[in-house]
Structure 1
């Protein structure tokens, strides 16, 4: 019965640890979300900046696997190139050492310092966070509560695992297993890689090793080899993530694997040969602090050693990841998607969802692109009507199909984002993008209607009077200005553009009303033929509705400012 109880405690502790990591990571991502996308934008060809960025993001999200998966997504989406990705991957390995140092705090042994041991105040943190959630303001994200509960659960989980393992620390099975791994680098590295690959978290596997080391049952050689393997095992997540991605994205995942394998081989050889003259040291017990120290030295040293060979890793990945038959076939026989839609699909990579802030930023960029295409269609349709360039009408219809497909793809991606853990501002931004996409698509429909009216006028030999043409030109120019102003407001969160859009929309309303009245008078006096009058009224109605949608877009921006 005691065996079963210990097993339950071990799994329960691991579960609390992983859940705590998730909660803390979510809280920290929300708190730093607006800055993470800015950090990404400053990554250029400067690999040192990329290393620092990778370390910073990983320290925030507490997972090198998550960072590398994001990198695969960024590369697949064309946001980063392979050279930039190398630096971020190197930095991710440094950032992940933070978790190991957090766990090392559990080894505070002095009675005078026991008050500061994490497991002592962990329940207080969970209680504080829970009360913040229960009695805080409803509808608001409490990032401090997330952080406190996450940290508390991490250390409570570690205490559970430590309590479950400690009775068996002197078991012959443990000691024999670690002795074998300490004398065989391959077995030690393989064990660390397999465990980490299975639980998909190097932070968790390092923490398990540190928990076992608390009892002094882990020899230094075995612990060092297992730690090397854990860095290889963390590559599994990115490798799985790259399945189905572009060849370039697969190369980013392979670069991550090459980097960690090279580092493990270098350090594995050094430890193996050093273990003979310093046998007493390497056979001694390993402490959690020593694991954290070795973990940090290993990752920082690997980055320093392999940093000059970043381009070589990129070239080697190109030789290892060959162009598949699918890639060749797609290049030779492009599918039914246009270039615009292909770029959209590529840029909205599901792997970017690992970072909600960057996913939202990438989506906003594509919404702006959709709006610019729509603005071009509005301008083009009006130009066709006024200049009777009916041969260009199919271009407007083709662009309308692209806009419809973009709306579908963007909506589906926003649904994915909406299911993520978002803060209140991000939720509002996603909701406003949903509404903005709808208004853009409806504005595009009205542009399509204008092109259809131009086609109808051509088929029935309908032409407008000089006054009618002048009116159409004036209102269409004002509408195009209004729609472009709304796009500027959305792109820059510009309150001045919001006000300008509202002012232009009022002018369009007045123009539409005046033109409708004067045109009806011309119809009554026989100055205009009825068929031309119907087309004219339909067109100014479509233009006025486009201006309304522009005003709606500006209102969504106003709600964000």
Structure 2
């Protein structure tokens, strides 16, 4: 019983080591890996190579699947490209399994020692996260050694031999066992390494080991499908195509007896044969299937057709939950969604201008609908940021986190203010049957135009952190305050001249000016944040490459750069 407990704990250590390496690499190089995948959209062979490279670094095809699924769900990558990346990820996993089975016993204590020193001395820095990766590598190598040592007495137990010998005649059952272990351990790499180690110790036969390896590949596909299930249809198509490609590997099962006989003539150790089979199996399967990514994409689109469900409320597009383990990526997603809120508020301002000049009900209805969208997106951003543990964020990331939540709150408040302004205008025009004087309406339009310009520039400053634009924004804020005071005085002067329309609309006119003053303060807050970050020398979290897509969308004609 104690021996079995030692084996299970060694397996747990192996799984934990692969998890530490994956999360550490994603935290340090997550944005670079996503850039690498993003640049591989030109053709399938390039995407295939990118999948190999990324998976070799993070030691998890499941992590690569999450990145590819995230790209497709956000509309930044086509389905055939994502499927090519997933085929490359399978080869990357096989390459890492081969590397980790070399005699690296000397490397485990070295990686652990250096990793602990780096992590404890510089936790929140890039060097500290690299130390975390080294710790994970040390644990993986140590776990493999422990599994070999622990498995030796188990191989001598007659009951265990009978248990595993029951799999010898059924390779399909062995594949099912491999798939289950990959799902439970959340890593096909861990399943393959364990299988090779147990086969080398004589606990399981070579045919069973090969069946388990095939099943472990299928298990990683099941994992990707389970992770994509709650996401949009495009994301589920990637996971479905990946799973179908892995299920195609079951066609090899009838050929295993012939393959085992041929491998026995090569003279290599059983462990080496298992790892070599894993590498050859994945490489050959993926290379043969690579030309079919277009056909597989069409099949997945047919099996999972798009079903448009419109409940009238906007839904977040960029808040990918799989990016939460990588702060840089998660913050970039939150920035993109916050800019969407800014675009909605800008549209509300445009409809408010229509409501000021026209008596149609449509602008008011559109403002109310847009305010519901703003509230929904704000709630999504708020909850998304709340899921990020701030104690794990670096100083720059924590500062950016605060900037995002502050702007999101300001934009949500701005939406409420615009809706209240609409109510005041609607009450004046419909209930009281009154209208602004021509001069008063022109003054409100002047303030409205400057307010819209400040909102656009404020969003640009928030995105870029440019100090020159931030100073320009604060200068325009002072210009707005000066104009607001001048127009208030002009209104009082019209009251002195007994202008009838001005007297009838005085209260509403001054309230709208005060509301615009509040809106202007909310829109210009990004300027202070940019200048404070520059003055403190902390700078800005590096811009995520996916932001470039949003920036291109956001820089509409007439918007300040």
- Structure 2 equivalent of residue 336 of structure 1: 311
Cα pair distance change 1:544/1:19, threshold 3 Å: same
TM-superposition CA deviations, 1:373-431 (whole Å, max 9, x none): 11121132134224555652222222112211221122222323458965544443333
1:275 to partner: Cα distance: 3.8
| 1:37 equivalenced with 2:37 (yes/no) | no
Provide the rounded CA distance (Å) in 2 between the counterparts of 1:96 and 1:125: 21
The one of 519, 537, 548 equivalent to 1:546 is 519
Aligned with 2:90 (options 69, 73, 93): 93
Structure 2 residue aligned with 1:464: 436
Contact 1:501/1:550 (8 A) holds in 2: no
Q: Mean alpha-carbon deviation: is it higher for 26-35 or for 95-104?
A: 95-104
Please say if 1:52 is aligned against 2:49. Answer: yes
2:60 is matched with which residue: 47, 50, 63?
Answer: 63
Give the CA deviation at 1:481. 0.6
Within-5 A mapping of 1:390-539: 392-418=363-389, 422-459=393-430, 460-524=432-496, 526-527=498-499, 529-539=502-512
**Equivalents in 2 of 1:309, 1:22: separation in Å?**
32
The structural deviation recorded for 1:179 is: 6.5
> Bigger shift: 236-245 or 14-23?
236-245
User: Which whole-Å deviations, capped at 9, do the CAs of 1:326-375 have from their partners, x for residues lacking one?
Assistant: x87xx5xx55333xx14x2x553544546554444333222212111111
Matching of residue 301 in structure 1 with residue 284 in structure 2: yes
**Which SS does the other structure have where 2:270 is aligned?**
coil
1:253 aligns with 2:226: no
Q: In 2 relative to 1, CA 196–398 (structure 1 residues): closer, same or farther, beyond 3 Å?
A: closer
Shift of 1:510: 1.9
**1:382·1:450 contact (CA, 8 Å) conserved in 2?**
no
Distance of 2:211 and 2:123 partners within structure 1: 49
Change (3 A) 1:171 1:281: farther
Q: CA deviation at 1:202?
A: 0.6
Does residue 1:159 correspond to 2:145, yes or no?
yes
Question: Are the equivalent residues in 1 in contact too, given 2:26–2:325 (CA < 8 A)?
Answer: no
CA spacing shift, 1:391–1:202, aligned 2, 3 Å = closer
Take 1:283 and 1:243, find their aligned partners in 2: how far apart are those partners?
A: 45
Q: 1:508, CA displacement in angstroms?
A: 1.0
- Aligned pair count reads 532
C-alpha distance in structure 2 between counterparts of 1:401 and 1:166, whole Å? 64
Which one of 273, 283, 286 corresponds to residue 270 of structure 2?
286
Rate the CA distance shift 1:409–1:540 in 2: closer, same or farther, 3 A.
same
1:495–1:91 distance in 2 versus 1, CA, 3 Å: farther
Q: 5+ residue gaps in structure 2?
A: 534-538, 541-561
Distance 1:316 1:476 in 2: 51
| TM superposition score normalised by structure 2 | 0.84
Displacement of 1:483 in angstroms is 0.5
| Residue ranges of structure 1 left out of the alignment (5+ in a row) | 109-116
| Contact in 2 for aligned 1:220/1:281 (Cα 8 Å) | no
Structure 1 residues 424 and 98, CA gap change in structure 2 (3 angstroms): farther
Query: Residue 81 and residue 368 in structure 1: after superposition, are their counterparts in 2 closer, same or farther (change >3 A)?
Result: same
3-state SS in 1 of match to 2:369: helix
Q: Once structures 1 and 2 are overlaid, which stretch shifts more, 123-132 or 496-505? A: 123-132
CA distance 1:249–1:473, change in 2 (3 Å): closer
1:19 is the counterpart of 2:13: no
Secondary structure in 1 matching 2:435: coil
Q: Report the CA distance shift for 1:154/1:273 in structure 2 as closer, same or farther (over 3 A).
A: closer
Q: Would you say the 8 A contact 1:483–1:501 is kept in 2?
A: no
Q: 1:81 to 1:417 in 2, by over 3 A?
A: farther
Residue 373 (str. 1) matches residue 359 (str. 2): no
**How many Å separate the matches in 2 of 1:138 and 1:70?**
23
